[in-house]
Amino acid sequence: MQSNGTLCEQFSKIIGGQPGFAGGKCVSTINRNNIKATILGKRFRVTSSFSFESLNKRTGRALCLGRAAFLEKEVNKFIAAIRNQGIKVTSVHNEWLFERPRLIYINIETVDRPLVFARKVKRALDAIHR
């Protein structure tokens, strides 16, 4: 079995994010540099993060989570693409007041093999650009 560090790097590479560890879990962060957002008139860096933890060494499955930021026009495409792959959408909400443009956050969860989850997330992210 590969180390969690190597697995985290592969996970992040598939998603297209930066790998890291927070609280003992692998986290891949994507900067949405194409979104020029502000809060109260000040520049705000828009990020999405996907993670896995509680990896079962026998089955290779883990708790896989995501918190992703979208423009309003991207929300329905992402939700459809993620649900079509069997991943639960657990919340759709905004987090900020006075941000421009309006950002919508979507939280997702499943238990899966981390690299399988990463490929599913990548397909859903790619769907918003079609």
- Distance between CA atoms of residues 52 and 75, nearest Å: 23
Mean pLDDT across the stretch 10-37?
95
**Cα torsion through 6, 8, 12, 15, rounded to 10:** 110
**DSSP characters over 22-45:** ETTEEEEEEE-TT--EEETTEEE-
Q: How far apart are the first and last CA of the chain?
A: 36
Separation of alpha carbons 39 and 10, rounded Å: 33
What domain range includes position 57? 4-127
H helix runs in the chain, sequence order: 4-15, 75-83, 114-127
The answer to whether residue 44 scores a pLDDT higher than 70 is: yes
The pLDDT tens digits of the residues spanning 46-64 come to 999 999 999 999 999 999 9
SS3 content of the chain, % helix, strand, coil (to 5): 30, 40, 30
Confidence check: pLDDT of 2 > 70: no
- Per the structure, the count of domains in the chain is 1
Question: Residue 85 in 3-state DSSP?
Answer: coil
